[in-house]
Each structure stands twice: as C-alpha cells, then as structure tokens.
Structure 1
Amino acid sequence: MSQASLAILLKLGSVVLFVVMAALIKATATDVPAGEAVFFRSFFALWVIVAWLLWRRELRTGLKTQDPLGHLWRGLIGVTAMGLAFTGLGLLPLPEVTAIGFAAPLLTVIFGAIFLGEVVRRFRLSAVALGLLGVLVILWPRLTFDDLGTGAAMGVGVVLLSSVFRALAQIQIRRLAKVEETSAIVFYFSLTATVFSLATVPFGWVMPEPGQAAMLIIAGLIGGVAQILLTSAYRFGEAGLLAPFDYASILFATAIGYVVFGDVPTGWMLVGTLIVIAAGCLIIWRERQLGLERGRARKAGLTPQG
C-alpha cells in the first residue's frame, strides 16, 4: 500500500470515528449537560493519547512545551467550540450540525488574513463567499418566523458560534505549530480541555445512567483514537490530498442520523451542503495550484506571487 493510500484510509477512519463520537454525544444530550460531555470526551481521550505517545516513545516530546500560555488559549478556545457543538447536537439533527460545521474552514481563511496576515486574493475570497452562501441555504428553513425563538433556532446559533471558535482554534494551532511538536499540541489540548470542562460543574452536572455513562466513555475513547488517526494521516499525506475527505463526514452523518435518530435531510440542507463542498474544494484546488507555482518559482529562482 502506498503512503498516499494509507493516509487516505487513516483520514477516512478519523472522519467516521468523529461522526460516531458525535452520534454518541447526541444520544446523551437530552440528559447530560454539554460541559459534562466535554469532560468525558477530553478525559478519556487523554489516556488514549498518553498510551499512544508511550507506544511511540514520544511522551517526553508531548510533555515538552515552549509556549504554555499558547496551549492554554488553544484549550480555552477549543473547549468552547466543543461545548457549543455538543449543545447544538441536542437541538438539531446530526447531519445539519455536520453541514453547518463546514463553515469553520471557510472562516479559517478569513481569520488567517486578519490574525496571521495571510494573503487572501479574489479567487479565495469568492470561494469563501460562495461557501457562506451555501451555509445560508442550509440555514434558510430555520430563519422563518415560525422557527425563531425555538430550540432549533438556538441550535443554529450555537453551532454557528462553534464554527467561529473552531476556526479561531485552527489559527491558534497554526501559531503553536511554529514552535511546538504535534504530539505536544494534541496532548495539551486534551489536558486543558479536561481541566476547563470541570469549570462547568456548578452549572448542573448530573449522574448519568449506566448506559449513558458507557456511551460517554466510549465517545471519549473514540475521540482519542480519531485524533491519533487524523494526526497519523497527515504524517503520511499532504494536507491538499486529505482535506477533501473531510466532506465525507456528511455522508456518514446522514446515514447514522437516518438509521439511528430518524433524521431525514431536507432539500435545502442537501443543496446548501453541495455548495459548501464545492467552495471548499475550490479553495483546496487553488491552494494546491499555488503550492505548485511556488515550487516551480523556487526552482527557477523567482519570487512566488502567492
């Protein structure tokens, strides 16, 4: 098996597991507060990640950090995004939460320009605008007067806000990646998310029933394995090769949503999702083309134009 094929399999494995994890969280969302679900997700994932680092003999690397404050910020932003997403899972169908979440990579492009000074030209801005139009199409049925003020409208709001924080988390990860090892970024996120989630105890944690506790524990373990698969995928394959496979999550979310929860995707959601995926693929294609142009420019001794 080639490295590219292995990378794709690992990426698809992580996508499937993250969707299964979300389904388990959704199954407990009516009874278990989002902050408590974040704790289970982070705490049990932490032990999987520690075991993985021990197996790879990278625990010392994972514990070593040059930017502890950067990890704290990444943890705070990430745990906020996770808590909002878990809240949304209790209010909206799984496929809809997944589809709205596709706004995060689009917002990352915008935030990269604002906070990192990345150059974003008209092509990518046009693709981002197209993607955000797709998100609006997905949301359109929820924007009627009948839905305003309902749990569904609140779900839309928290999932959109979650996408904003996910995009900000990606910006912080880019900053950390300049000085920190991947193993340290993965380890300290699970650690800080576990600690920050404990701050939600005063807001009404509950004693989950045995079945619910089992689902939450499994969700945490699956989340840890999914994170490892995702990290390993990018070790064997380039980001441009693997990024499009993120959109496979909508297929798995739709299937699980229909079979397990009886969620039937609407025409608006399907059309909007296709628009968002098209926009995302255009951005990925453009990034790949720019990468090839930069490579040719370096070989020719020229200055790439980005």
Structure 2
Amino acid sequence: MSIAQPNPFRAIALKIASVLLFVLMATLIKAASDEVPPGQTVFFRSLCAMPVILGWLIWQGKFPSGLRTANPLGHLWRGLIGSTAMGLSFAGLAILPLSEVKAIQYAMPLFVVVLAALMLGERVRAVRLTAVGMGMVGVLIILWPRLTSFTNGEVDPQLAFGALIVLTGSLCAAFAQIFVRRLVETEETAAIVFWFSVTATLLSLLTLPFGWQVPSATALACLVGSGLLGGLGQILLTSAYRFGDASIIAPFEYASMLFAIAIGYAVFGEVPTLVMLIGASIVIASGVLIILREHYLKIQRGKGRQHVTKYG
C-alpha cells in the first residue's frame, strides 16, 4: 500500500475524532461501572474491539500478514502492564468525575519522559525536566483536595483512593508506552494493537473469581459499545499519524478535557472544581511544552543530517 501524503488538517480531524471516541468510551464504561467490576469491563472493552481491528486490517490488506510477531514475550509484558493500567483507570471512573480522571491521566506523558531516561537511556535536557516538574506540580494540585481526606476527613476517603488508583494507572500506562517503544523496533503497529487486545482479553479472565456480574441489557450495551468505540478510536488515532507528524497532532489530545467536562456535566451532572481546572491547565501547559521541545529537537536533528549530507 502506498504511503499517505501529508495532510495536517485531515490528521488533526482524525486525532480530535479519536479523542472524542475515547471520551465516549470512558463515558460508557463509567455508566456500566455500577453493575460490573473493572476486570469484567476490561474483558468486554478488549474483546469487542477485536472485530473492529480485524475488519480494519482486512480492509487495509494487512490480514493476516500484519499480525505476525517476532517478539511474543514483549507483547505479553505489554499486555500485562497495559491491562493493569486499563483496569485501574476503569476502577477510577467508577469513583471520580470523568473530567478529573482525564486530568490525572495527563500525568502519563510526564512519567514516560522520566522512564525513557531511566529505562531507554534517552537524554533528558533542562527544558523537558522543567516541564516534567511543572506538570507534577499540576498533578499535585489536582490530587491535593483528595489526599487531604486521609488527614482531616473533610472529603470521602474513597475519592482519595480513586485518585491514587488513577494516578497508579497512569504510571502503568507510561510503562506500557516504554514497552511499545521497544516493540515498534520489530513489530507492525497493527500487530501491537491486535495482540494487546488479545492478551488483555485473556488476562482479564483471571479476575473471574473476584465477582463478575450478569449485566443488565443497558450495562451490556454500554460494555459492548465501549469496545467498539475503543477499537474505532484506535484506528482513527493510528490513521492520524499517517497524515501528520506527532508534533502537530499530539497537542490535540488535550481536547479530551473539553469533551470530558461537557459530557460529564450533560450525562452525570458533574461540575469540575476550580482547583482541578487550575491543576489540569498546568499539566496541559507542561505537556505542550514537552511536545514543542520535541518538535524543535526534531527540526535541529534534520538540519544536522542535511549538513552532513551536503558537506560530509
């Protein structure tokens, strides 16, 4: 298949559409969370995404060739940590407002910067370290009203627990991203997406002894819908990066906060607090700073290669 021509407007549109689908997916999961435990939610989310992904592979002409893997153990490890991240995130959705969960999850790219330096040997300069520090301050501002419930009892301790498990899930998601960075060295994107769905589906079955429930028709529709939306969202996200550079597309991830606030208010009657919005704004600013820094470094590396080609 021919390489897609760059089309920034299409890339941005696909990215925003994928962000909206992922927020809608989280909305359906939150709606079903009163009836089913997180492990069962992970099962439906992963299982119901597979037909969408397989259909996409067939349409792209990459089935079954796109599913070949040279690193099955790498997929297993990525599936294990990614499934844990997903389960913690879904557990948090059952406790916290939708917009607050999204705000805390913005810590994930910050964790990736730190882990990439520790585990992959990537060089982290002062600008990115400053951005990470600024982002962590924003995360602490978001978490502070929840964490104080452990000491003064003014807030339900369950909310503090919810905030901590979402933050832990974000850390697990960052580890999963490190595994993905290693997998892309030998694996096709299609294989990474598909085998994650397979491993997450199988691993979620281990939670069967912990109280799976027979869902109502409404909850079942939400669970199936979350998988379909998640699979479609992944396809749109993957397609977005075929038409534009990550530096152009990545900042639009933060549109999820606008969607989460609007949907959370319309569906669940959730009103974000001023403290949460301030903290989220700081985290978003730090994330954008990291993205801009990466874009600048990419340009500089490109100029360096051109110089070597011309004069080397």
Indicate the TM-score class for this superposition, using the shorter chain for normalisation.
over 0.9
Deviations 1:189-248 (A, max 9, x none): 111111111111111100000111011101110110000001111111111111100100
**Which segment is superposed worse, 283-292 or 59-68?**
59-68
Residue 158 of structure 2: aligned partner:
151
Question: Which of 37, 42, 59 is the aligned partner of 2:46?
Answer: 42
**Which segment is superposed worse, 269-278 or 146-155?**
146-155
Question: Which of 33, 37, 43 is the aligned partner of 1:29?
Answer: 33
Q: Percent identity?
A: 56
Question: 1:112 aligned to 2:119?
Answer: no
Question: Which of 239, 252, 259 is the aligned partner of 2:266?
Answer: 259
Amino acid at match of 1:52: W
Unaligned runs of 5+ in 2: none
Superposed counterparts of 1:1-306, under 5 Å: 3-144=7-148, 145-146=152-153, 150-301=157-308
Amino acid at match of 2:115: F
CA distance in 1, matches of 2:281, 2:231: 29
Query: TM-score, normalised on structure 2?
Result: 0.95
Contact 2:106 2:283 survives alignment (8 Å) = yes
Unaligned runs of 5+ in 1: none
Query: TM-score, normalised on structure 1?
Result: 0.97
The Cα shift of 1:148 comes to 6.8
The Cα shift of 1:149 comes to 6.8
The Cα shift of 1:61 comes to 2.5
The Cα shift of 1:175 comes to 0.2
Contact 1:61 1:184 survives alignment (8 Å) = no
Give SS of 1:185's match: helix
CA distance in 2, matches of 1:67, 1:7: 30
CA distance in 2, matches of 1:70, 1:204: 30
Root mean square deviation of aligned Cα:
1.3
Deviations 1:241-272 (A, max 9, x none): 11100100000000001111011000001101
Aligned residues: 302
Which aligned runs of 4 or more in structure 1 are off by greater than 3 angstroms?
A: none
